[in-house]
Amino acid sequence: MSRRSAAWTPVLVGLLVLCSVAAFGQFAASTSTVNFGNVQVGSMSSVPIPVSNTSRSNLTITQVTVSGNQFSFAGPNLPITLAPQQSANVYVTFFPQTAGSASGSMAITDLGVNGRGQKQHVGSSTISLSGTGVSGGYLTPSPASLNFGNIPVGSIQTQSVTVTNSGGSSVGISQASVSGNVFTLSGFSPQTLAVGQSMSFGIGFKPNSGGTVNGTLNLTSTAADSNLSVALSGAGASPGQLTASPVSVSFGSVSVGGSSNQSGTLTATGASVTVTSASSSNSQFTIGKVGLPLTIASGQSVPFTVTFSPLVSGTVSGSLSFVSNASVSTVSETVSGTGQAAQHNVSLSWSPSTSTITGYNVYRGTTSGGPYARINPSIDSVTAFADSTVQSGQTYYYVTTAVASGGMESKYSNETSAQVP
With the C-alpha atoms ordered 178, 181, 183, 188, is the resulting torsion angle positive or negative? positive
**Per-residue pLDDT, 382:** 92
Ranges of each domain in the chain: 27-134, 139-237, 241-340, 346-419
Q: What is the pTM of this model?
A: 0.40
For domain 241-340, the CATH superfamily is Immunoglobulins (2.60.40.10)
Write down the mean pLDDT value for the chain.
85
* pLDDT mean over 309-319: 94
Same fold, 139-237 and 241-340: yes
For residue 23, pLDDT beyond 50: no
Q: Which of 64, 84, 60 is nearest to 75 (CA)?
A: 64
**According to CATH, what is the number of the domain 27-134?**
2.60.40.10
Q: Which of 221, 233, 237 is nearest to 269 (CA)?
A: 237
Rounded to a whole number, what is the distance in angstroms from the first to the last CA of the chain? 189
pLDDT one-digit tens code per residue, 188-236: 999 999 988 999 999 999 998 888 999 999 999 988 777 889 999 999 8
Q: Which of 190, 182, 192, 187 is nearest to 216 (CA)?
A: 182
Q: Domain 139-237 is in which class?
A: mainly beta
> Yes or no: is domain 346-419 CATH 2.60.40.10?
yes
**Per-residue pLDDT, 120:** 52
Q: Give the Cα separation of 409 and 404 in Å (integer).
A: 6
**Per-residue pLDDT, 41:** 79
Beta strands 157-165 and 139-142: pairing type? antiparallel
